[in-house]
Amino acid sequence: MTRLVMRTRSKPYPVTIGGETQYMCGCGLSATQPFCDGTHKLTRDEEPGVLCWYDADVVRKQIADTFPNIRVPSE
Ligand code: FES
């Protein structure tokens, strides 16, 4: 099964448990989910309003049309 879920974050977010802070992936591209591995840096020059996706080699693709009303996780 495959899902298309829009991610709008472009950076990790810290979570502190037991006094230890971990950085969780917010962009969805990390190979070490749920933790950030720095791959979010590829999203820094994404154009606003353009839907981007990344292939298995983490190469960016862009889609001219959008998917109206696609679910966006709350941030
Ligand atoms: S936030 Fe996803 S790789 Fe860093």
- What is the domain range of residue 45? 13-63
**Distance (Å, rounded) from C-alpha 44 to C-alpha 35?**
18
Which candidate, 75, 49, 74, places its Cα nearest to that of 63?
Answer: 49
Would you say the CB of residue 11 lies under 6 angstroms from ligand 1? yes
Residue 30 Cα: closest atom of ligand 1: 3
Number of domains composing the chain: 1
Between 66 and 40, residue with greater pLDDT: 40
Would you say the CB of residue 26 lies under 6 angstroms from ligand 1? yes
Q: How far apart are the first and last CA of the chain?
A: 25
List pLDDT tens digits, range 27-58.
999 999 999 999 999 999 998 878 898 998 99
Residue 54 belongs to some domain of the structure = yes
Q: pLDDT category, 67, cuts 50, 70, 90?
A: confident
Which candidate, 4, 21, 9, places its Cα nearest to that of 74?
Answer: 9
Residues 9-15 have a mean pLDDT of: 95
pLDDT above 70 covers what percent of the chain? Answer: 96
For residue 65, pLDDT beyond 80:
no
Residue 5 belongs to some domain of the structure = no
Would you say the CB of residue 43 lies under 6 angstroms from ligand 1? no
Residue 4 belongs to some domain of the structure = no
**Residue owning the nearest CA to atom 4 of ligand 1:** 36
Which candidate, 21, 67, 34, 68, places its Cα nearest to that of 9?
Answer: 34
